[in-house]
Amino acid sequence: MATMENLISLATVDEEIREIESSRGDLPSRIKKLESEKEQINNEIEKLTVKLTELSSKETELNRSKQDCDSNLAKYKDQLYLVKNNKEYDALNTEIDTVKTQLNEISITLSDIIENKKQIEEDIKLNQSTIDNNSEKLDKYSSQLKNLMSDNEKEYKNLTLQKEKLIGTIDESILSKYNVMLNAKGFGAAAIVGDACGACYTTLPTQLITEIKQKNEYKYCPSCAILLYFEE
């Protein structure tokens, strides 16, 4: 049964792939984590920058109003010298008070904005330094990984190609059972060891061992459900 042989080859190829991948340790997952963190922080910086721009344009607007109020105030104060009666004097003073109140409100809002901007600028700086830190680590891990990979890159590529070819020859239902185990345990099939299952070491019935050696049918371990094969 050709596909059975192919499945055994697949198990062997997967074991070699696993060995190479485990030699890379947790570098790939560390790199992935750092990259996603970096992206999150960049998004945060973007949001903060938009907020900062909004505050700046509000600040410009308020400064313009402040200038208008200042010039109005100067104008009213000049007019005080020209008033002809008490009524005019009182009316002008009311105007002056209104402008002073406006100026007061503007200066309170302005100082809030300035405070707010300062905080946001600090947050941006903090985020930026985290990113710099992350980038440094990323460079370090990436070059470590590159070194590790260059040692067996060719072999790894070759194994991946072999795996692809083998997968194409194996029945889908068998392959899906194999993959469930591969993802759960790190291997999708196990060779029998003596008269035991190579995965859970449960002793197997003699009849089952005979059937496995005949390679006519796919056989699974009664105890751990792994696909079993005989390695000559």
Burial class (CB within 10 angstroms; exposed 0-12, middle 13-18, buried 19+) of 95: middle
198 scored as a contact of Zn ion (CB under 5 A): no
> What is the per-residue burial (b if ≥16 Cβ within 10 Å, else e) of 69-79?
beebbeebeee
Minimum Å gap between C-beta 199 and Zn ion is 5
Rank residues 72 and 223 by Cβ distance to Zn ion and give the closer one.
223
204 scored as a contact of Zn ion (CB under 5 A): no
| List of residues 6+ apart from 180 with CB closer than 8 A | 188
* DSSP 8-state symbol, 202: P
221 scored as a contact of Zn ion (CB under 5 A): yes
Three-state secondary-structure class, residue 58:
helix
Work out which of 48, 52, 182, 224 binds Zn ion, going by CB under 5 A. Answer: 224
189 scored as a contact of Zn ion (CB under 5 A): no
Work out which of 3, 12, 98, 223 binds Zn ion, going by CB under 5 A. Answer: 223
- Of 143, 142, 138, 160, nearest in space to 20 by CA: 160
CB 218 within 8 A of CB 191: no
Work out which of 181, 199, 212, 227 binds Zn ion, going by CB under 5 A. Answer: 199
Minimum Å gap between C-beta 177 and Zn ion is 14
* DSSP 8-state symbol, 226: -
200 scored as a contact of Zn ion (CB under 5 A): yes
Strands (E), 108-226: 189-191, 219-220
Rank residues 25 and 222 by Cβ distance to Zn ion and give the closer one.
222
Stretch that binds Zn ion, among 42-50, 108-116, 159-167, 198-206 (CB under 5 A): 198-206
Query: Is the four-CA dihedral 131, 132, 133, 135 of positive or negative sign?
Result: positive
Window 148-187: contact mask with Zn ion (x via CB under 5 A):
----------------------------------------
197 scored as a contact of Zn ion (CB under 5 A): yes
48 scored as a contact of Zn ion (CB under 5 A): no
Binding site for Zn ion (CB under 5 A): 197, 199-200, 221, 223-224
